[in-house]
Amino acid sequence: MNRTTRANAGRRHGRGRARLITLGGIVGVASLLAAACGGEEAAAPAAAPVTTQAAPQAEEAEPAGPAAHCAPGETDGDLTFYNWADYIDEDLLAAFEAETGVDVEYSTYESNEEMLTKVESEAAIYDLVVPSDYMVDTMRREGLLLELNFDAIPNAANIGAEFANPPFDPEHKYSVAYQWGTTGIGMSYEVLELLGGESTWAVIFDPATAALVPGGISMLDDAPETVAAALKYLGYSIVDVINNQNEDAIREAGDLLRATNDRLLKYDSVTYSDDLVNGEVDVAHGWSGGFALSIFGAEAFDTHVYTIPSEGGVIWVDTMAIPHNADNICSAHAMINFLTDAENGATLTNWTYYGSPNVASTPFIVDEILDDPGINPPPEIAARLELLPFAGDLALLIQDMHSQAKS
Amino acid sequence: MGPARRSPPTAGAAGEEAAAVARRRQGMLLASPGALYLLIFFVVPLGLITVYSFATRTSTGRTALSGWNVESYRAIGDDIIVGIIGRSAWLATLTTVLCVVVGYPFAYYIATRPRHVRAVLLVLVMIPFWTNALVRVFAIRFLLGSNGPASALSESLGFGTFRILFTPTAVTIGMVYSFLTFMVLPLYVALERMDWSLTEAARDLYASGAKAFWKVTLPLTRSGIVAGCVLVFVPSFGSYVVPDILGGAKTLLIGSYIARQFRDARNWPLGAALSVLLIVAMLVAVALNQRSGSGAEDGGRPRGRRRGPGRGVAEPATAEAS
């Protein structure tokens, strides 16, 4: 793994950047206009509330019939592939083109919402997109995804059992896992020692523990993530809270966030990991990939570390899916099959530094990634990770709690 | 006019009328590109926003253009939103007041320099506008950070390092910096066109310097102050970038809150309703400004020479986006 490759690791959760650029004038007119015209909208943190079971609020018919009958590897035209920025080794695209003879038109986005707006408005037609867990649930409920034809994706069998039956895609009809990661806390080893070697959300939420931190503390500027962190600290299961529509628990988390606000140096979903490594903050709530990028990039292995708190954290899965209005459905299936191949899957992960859902890839993945507990947490920690479920109308309460905290 | 006008038009009158029509046509032709542009990119979106503000958010976050209701407007009364609006108004007021306090003496200084010096000073005031606003805000972020020069200076003087960044103070500094020019320019215009002989007259009549300022200069430049206040208050009320970048996003203001509704929350109806509210508030402010502007006009100089600052008032909305 060379430096360039590492430097590209973990860009995915660099969302937020587009937001700064969207400025949009004082009224947000620009965003409405842009979105209404199907233009770029932007940047929202990826981990919004998410899916899981068909909660009472399920609505809108799941549409889109089954995919065309494509044979494995069959292609039917040039592929338009819309993916997160810096999320693939482009050699893989070239290899696919060489193998199949179709051209890949590759473009990128920085947030699930940006992709959703494009697909929803049909501003552009894509054959293959990479929505995160909750976004799969949202898109599936809105009828924006095509049912996959798994006969055309024999390599889907390589996907590990824990990713093969995701709650956000109950019958596993619309998505195939691409890469995965977690949300936890990056900190200096100095702080980790002060905590007795065990990472805990208390370093953010408990006044006495937080007082031990010599420098600043930052949290993601992302409502579902901050509320999820608070719920975890309070001992709740995020999935239970959402599925039981437990508004009281969410309000309790909101109160905790409000009490925490003054203790924070800032909310930041963009430079949190760089600021950790360069000492601007000593504790940062953030995404595994961002920390991998910064820690590898600055060779800060000895000073800083990404941890998953003992109370547990959030896990997210990005998946490959085909929009309902895709033109080249067989090519899209061929690409999914290509990327779920054992060696290709490893090439993908060796470039992104994310977790691989592909079991068959393991022998081909470099040890540096396999042995990193931040990327591949040990089972006892992995067991405490939860997917953010699709929150439906509760998403608004969650947003409100985050807004209310910032006063 | 006189009864003569009512009689059938003579050949001369007809020609005059034709010329007037031609002039009007020409004027319309000249204005049409701008009018068309505003129609497509201002009126239509404005209409869209208004329509969306009465729509419904589905539980997946899609905006359903059906089930029209005023729920989003009712939600504006919620504690959270009222608090956010109150905070935004307070910060905007503070920014405006500070801009007047800082900007007035500054504009006064420029306006009282010899003509050629004035030109140079004005260019200096304008220079920051040649740089993207975002870049300037990030520059301030560096200045105020714990690794920045301000902190280094304080450390070398033995006061230890400090960080203003991510505090309300940093936000206020950034806001004043961002909008100061909007205050200085109209004030300069008002001061520059003021008839200084009136102040001299006051002094001749034994008014003290301070009294002459309060009784003559200040009232005569009132239109400039009002225009400057509108130009500063309106954009700072909806300010979005500065509080997020310099304040560490710890204080939520209405601009960011609206942006969140369109992005993260996918609650377009609420975002749209708040936008409509801001636009209406802005129009009211502009209308008030115009009214007061027409009352207290022109520092003693003959009319017709007004290069009224009041006219630029519709622009602040776009100021921050530039």
Residue range B11-56, pLDDT digits in tens: 567 788 888 888 888 888 999 999 999 999 999 999 999 999 999 9
Strands of the A128-129 sheet, one edge to the other: A104-109, A79-84, A128-129
ipTM of the complex: 0.78
Q: Do A36 and B146 touch (CB under 8 A)?
A: no
Asked if B258's CB is within 8 angstroms of A28's CB, the reply is: yes
Our CA-based measurement puts residue B190 at a distance from the nearest CA of chain A, in whole angstroms, of 27
Is A59 in Cβ contact with B62 (below 8 Å)?
A: no
Does any CB of chain B come closer than 8 Å to the CB of residue A44?
Answer: yes
- Check CB contact under 8 Å for B84 and A21: no
Q: Which of B63, B250, B276 to mutate to test the interface with A (most CBs of A within 10 A)?
A: B250
What is the domain extent for residue A115?
3-179+318-373
Q: How close is the nearest chain A Cα to the Cα of B318, in Å?
A: 5
Mutate to test the interface with B, among A17, A31, A32 (most CBs of B within 10 A): A32
Confidence of residue B143 (pLDDT cuts 50, 70, 90): confident
Task: In whole angstroms, give the CA distance from residue A337 to residue A340.
Answer: 5
> What is the pLDDT at residue B147?
74
**For residue range A291-350, what is the model confidence (pLDDT) as tens digits?**
988 998 899 989 999 999 999 999 999 999 999 999 999 999 999 999 999 999 999 999
Nearest to A60 among B58, B261, B262 (CB): B58
The conformation of residue A323, written as its DSSP 8-state character, comes to B
Tell me whether residue B69 is in a domain: no
Whether residues A124 and A266 share a domain: the answer is no
Local confidence band at A363 (pLDDT 50, 70, 90 cut-offs)? very high
Percent of chain A with pLDDT over 90: 69
Interface residue A97 vs chain B (CB under 8 A): no
What pLDDT, on the 0 to 100 scale, is given for residue A42? 36
Same domain, B83 and B36: no
Burial (CB count <10 Å: 0-12, 13-18, 19+), residue B65 = exposed
Q: Are residues B123 and B34 in the same domain?
A: no
Tokens (6 digits) for A273: 């990991």
Chain A contact set for B238 (CB, 8 A): 25-27
Claim to verify: residue A227 and residue A295 sit in the same structural domain: yes
pLDDT, position B317: 39
Q: Which residues in chain B belong to E strands, given as ranges?
A: 56-57, 63-64
A280 part of contact set with chain B, CB < 8 Å: yes
* pLDDT at residue B315 in the model: 40
| pTM score above 0.95 | no
Same-domain check for residues B36 and B88: no
Q: Do B249 and A266 touch (CB under 8 A)?
A: yes
Examine the domain organization and report whether A124 and A236 are in the same domain: no
Whether residues B25 and B158 fall in one domain: no
Subunit contact B320:A396, Cβ cutoff 8 A: no
**B271 within 8 A of B262, measured Cβ to Cβ:** yes
Same-domain status, B103 and B228: yes
For an interface test with B, which of A15, A17, A26 has the most B Cβ atoms less than 10 Å from its Cβ? A26
Note the pLDDT of residue A67. 52
Residues B38 and B142 in one domain: no
Residue B36 sits in the same domain as residue B83: no
Whether A126 and A190 map to the same domain: the answer is no
Q: Chain B contacts of A41, Cβ < 8 Å?
A: 262-263
Question: Do A13 and A159 fall within a single domain?
Answer: yes
Residues A18, A137 within the same domain: yes
- Helix, strand or coil for residue A87? coil
Whether residue A149 sits in one domain with residue A293: no
Return the percent helix, strand and coil in chain A, to nearest 5: 45, 15, 40
Q: Which residue has the higher pLDDT, A51 or B37?
A: B37
Q: Tell whether B114 and B210 lie within a shared domain.
A: yes
Would residue B175 count as lying in a domain?
yes
Q: What's the pLDDT at A323? A: 96
Cross-chain CB nearest to B48 (options A20, A36, A43)? A36
Instruction: Residue A406: list chain B partners with CB under 8 A.
Output: 249-252
For residue A378, tell me if it sits in a domain.
no
Select the more confidently predicted residue: B138 or B305.
B138
**Residue A382 maps to a domain:** no
Instruction: Kindly state the tokens that stand for A296.
Output: 């590898």
In A311-390, which ranges are continuous DSSP H helix? 329-339, 342-352, 367-370, 379-382
Q: Report if residue B1 sits inside a domain.
A: yes
A189 and A52 co-located in one domain: no
Q: What angle do CA A20, A291, A373 make, to 5 degrees?
A: 150
**Of residues A154, A126, A178, A95, the one with CA closest to residue A332:** A126
Same domain, B20 and B122: no
Confidence of residue B72 (pLDDT cuts 50, 70, 90): very high
A28 to chain B: which residues are within 8 Å by CB?
A: 255, 258-259, 261-262, 271, 274-275
Residue of A nearest to B250 (CA): A406
Statement to judge: residues B195 and B252 lie in one domain: yes
Q: Are residues B114 and B209 in the same domain?
A: yes
pLDDT of residue A216 exceeding 50: yes
Percent of chain A topping pLDDT 70? 83
Instruction: Decide if A379 is inside a domain.
Output: no
CATH of the domain at B88: 1.10.3720.10
CB contact under 8 Å between A43 and B263, yes or no, is: yes
What pLDDT does A65 receive?
52
User: What's the number of domains chain B is made of?
Assistant: 2
Domain interval for residue B19: 1-42
Helix (H, G, I), strand (E, B) or coil at A55: coil
Residue A208 sits in the same domain as residue A341: no
pLDDT (mean) for A141-148: 94
- Chain A CB contacts of B241 under 8 Å are 20, 23
Residues of B whose CB is below 8 A from A43 = 263
Helix or strand run (H / E) with residue A285: strand A281-287
Domain check: are A186 and A76 in the same one? no
| A223/B244 Cβ within 8 A | no
- Mean pLDDT, chain B, integer: 84
Residue A63 predicted with pLDDT over 90? no
User: What confidence tens digit (pLDDT) does each residue in A90-100 have?
Assistant: 999 999 999 99
**Average model confidence (pLDDT) across chain A:** 84
DSSP string, B275-309: HHHHHHHHHHHHHHHHHHHHHS--SSSPTT----G
Q: B56 in a domain, yes or no?
A: no
Over residues B203-245, the pLDDT tens digits come to: 999 999 899 999 999 999 998 999 999 999 988 998 888 988 8
pLDDT band at B254 (very low <50, low <70, confident <90, very high): very high
* Residue appearing with tokens 């929803």: A120
| Structural domain contains residue B48 | no
Within 8 A of B264 by CB-CB distance, chain A residues are: 44-45, 48, 113, 222-223, 399
- The answer on A87 and A55 residing in a single domain is yes
B27 & B147 share domain: no
Whether residue B66 lies inside any domain: the answer is: no
Domain count within chain A: 2
Residues 6+ apart with CB under 8 A from A152: A67, A69, A70, A71, A72, A73, A74, A330, A333, A334, A337
Residue B217 in any domain: the answer is: yes
In B, which residues are within 8 Å of A141 by CB distance? 60
Which residues on A lie below 8 Å from B45 (Cβ)? Answer: 29, 32-33, 36
Report chain A residues whose CB lies below 8 A from the CB of B234: 26
* CA dihedral sign, ordered B131, B136, B142, B144: positive
Instruction: Establish if B67 belongs to a structural domain.
Output: no
A248: domain CATH number is 3.40.190.10
A332 and A225 in a single domain? The answer is no
Give the lowest-confidence range in A66-80, A234-248, A261-275.
A66-80
DSSP B251: S
The answer to the question of residue A381 being in a domain is: no
pLDDT band for position A234 (50/70/90)? very high
Q: Which residue of chain B is at minimal alpha-carbon distance from A27?
A: B275
Chain A residues 290-349 with a CB less than 8 Å from chain B: none
What does the longest C-alpha to C-alpha distance in chain A come to?
A: 62
